[in-house]
Amino acid sequence: MKHCSQWRLLLSAIILSSLSVHASQTLLKNDNGVKTSVFLSPQFVLGPGSVENKYYYNVDFPRGHIALKEFNAEVVDEEGHPIPLHETYLHHWVVVRYYDSPSTETPNDNNGRGLNTSKHIVVRNSGICEGISLGQYFGLGSETRRTATYVPDPYGIEVGNPSEIPDGYEERWMLNVHAIDTRGAIDKMGCTECKCDLYNVTKDEYGRDLAKDYIGGLKCCYDQTQCKVRDGFESIRRKLYLRYTVKWVDWNDRIVPVKIYILDVTDSRRSTDDLTKGNARVGCKVEYEVKSCATAGPDNSECIDTKKTSMVIPHGGDVIYGAAHQHSGGLGAAIYGQDGQVICSSLPVYGEGKEVGNEAGYIVGMSTCYPKPGSVKIVDGEILTFESNYSSTRMHTGVMGLFYFLVADPQPNLIGSATHDNRIELPKYFWALFFIGVAVTVGIGAGYLSRNKREDGYQSIVM
């Protein structure tokens, strides 16, 4: 009888475990000390043209004093099948770290303001934008499936250090998922660019009137808005999830911690004084508009919108990793040092078909930088220049020009080798070349790289 009871308990545990996988699927394995967990976000439901922009607090995440090595995500259905971008466009997802008291109720304010109280302490990245936006530890968009995020050895993103967590608090994670269903849309690209007329929106999510010159962007595709679909088009409402995979190792003294920097090309601050005079909120606007060019050459080579800004990096070090975030129409981005040399450049990978991960017209990946450790440095207080390029053969609204990179304190005794992502390598000497006869074919997701020397000594990324 005793053995029978034990078997019943074991069987019950297996059944309960199988039921819980559907809500939050978790798998663990060890591979040279690297552990992997796969989680599901809370469920969100989308019908043709609908939008979900939800904030989920205290989501499943590896716990303890660890070093994060990789974070990947994609949208899947109830059966775990990946959803293509031409059906559900993943505008963005972000993961924010914060401290919370175990006795505090989980925030349920969908606009994200629940974390900005004295009871919830947001642990931002190292900057340099401040305020509500761009404080995440991880975040991508349509490019998420084919953009490398692995942090090379011996580096890691340190979290869960008990000495840093305030007394009476615990470390938690918030996940924001912004997804747009474009099935049956009369203008798929317009829906993904959040054009206000397609959403029939004149006020933002707080009920405030939009500026007359604001024709598209995040203010028009907030949670529960609806983009126009073809008359008579019908399809099912689908239950979806963000499936996210986290890789990490237990913390040890051999790991070199890295700082996370997220730069925004709309950052209008220019000097150290600006950084210290309370201008942080107006400095980083996150999104901007690309106007259509008035004239174009026979190969559209003149239809390039270049946006550039400079910013001060308070604390430098060795650059370990870098990647840009852009929307459809993006042609690439780069960070330059104070001497005008390229620190990191990142180019888009456009899809060419219909299958998941290769959707035509969408950015399905961004190239990444993995410099040889110690070979690319930023000094304290250095003024960096960030340049973002878009095709302007047509207008684009609500575009972004962000750059995510990791910096570690110099390790004089560290000897490493160069590693690169397997999609696009762009050696630094390439930026000195000048190509003539540039072709732009953004609509089919193909392009050719060109560099045009500019009067100020910098070079543009164009395709």
Contact (CB, 8 A) for 322 and 408: no
Query: Per-residue pLDDT for 216 more than 50?
Result: yes
User: In degrees to the nearest 10, what's the CA dihedral of 5, 11, 12, 14?
Assistant: 150
- Give Dmax over CA atoms of the chain in angstroms: 87
Query: Per-residue pLDDT for 392 more than 50?
Result: yes
Contact (CB, 8 A) for 389 and 460: yes
Compute the distance between CA of residue 14 and CA of residue 21 in angstroms, rounded to an integer.
11
Query: Per-residue pLDDT for 30 more than 70?
Result: no
How confident is the model at residue 271, as a pLDDT?
Answer: 47
**Average pLDDT value for residue range 196-209:** 94
How confident is the model at residue 353, as a pLDDT?
Answer: 94
Q: How confident is the model at residue 173 (pLDDT cuts 50, 70, 90)?
A: very high
Q: How confident is the model at residue 108 (pLDDT cuts 50, 70, 90)?
A: low
Compute the distance between CA of residue 346 and CA of residue 366 in angstroms, rounded to an integer.
6
**Segment 153-167, tens digit of pLDDT:** 999 999 999 999 999
How confident is the model at residue 133, as a pLDDT?
Answer: 78
Q: Beta strands 256-264 and 155-159: pairing type?
A: parallel
| Share above pLDDT 70 across residues of the chain, in percent, rounded to a whole number | 74
Query: Per-residue pLDDT for 142 more than 60?
Result: yes
CB atoms within 10 A of CB 295: 6
DSSP 97-156: EEEE-TTSPPP--TTTGGGSBTTEEEE--S-B--SSSS--SEEE-GGGGGS--PPPTTEE
**Segment 290-326, tens digit of pLDDT:** 999 876 555 556 799 999 999 888 899 999 999 999 9
How confident is the model at residue 27, as a pLDDT?
Answer: 54
**Segment 325-366, tens digit of pLDDT:** 999 999 999 999 999 999 999 999 999 999 999 999 999 999
- Looking at per-residue pLDDT, the higher value among 307 and 19 belongs to 307
How confident is the model at residue 375, as a pLDDT?
Answer: 93
How confident is the model at residue 444, as a pLDDT?
Answer: 35
- Looking at per-residue pLDDT, the higher value among 235 and 82 belongs to 82
**Average pLDDT value for residue range 105-128:** 68
Query: Average pLDDT over the chain, rounded to whole?
Result: 81
Query: Per-residue pLDDT for 269 more than 80?
Result: no
Q: How confident is the model at residue 127 (pLDDT cuts 50, 70, 90)?
A: confident
Query: Per-residue pLDDT for 402 more than 50?
Result: yes
How confident is the model at residue 79, as a pLDDT?
Answer: 95
Three-state secondary structure call for residue 362: coil
Q: How confident is the model at residue 273 (pLDDT cuts 50, 70, 90)?
A: low
**Average pLDDT value for residue range 253-268:** 92
Query: Per-residue pLDDT for 434 more than 90?
Result: no
**Average pLDDT value for residue range 371-380:** 93
- Looking at per-residue pLDDT, the higher value among 229 and 3 belongs to 229
- Looking at per-residue pLDDT, the higher value among 41 and 234 belongs to 41
How confident is the model at residue 462, as a pLDDT?
Answer: 37
- Looking at per-residue pLDDT, the higher value among 274 and 16 belongs to 274
Three-state secondary structure call for residue 78: coil
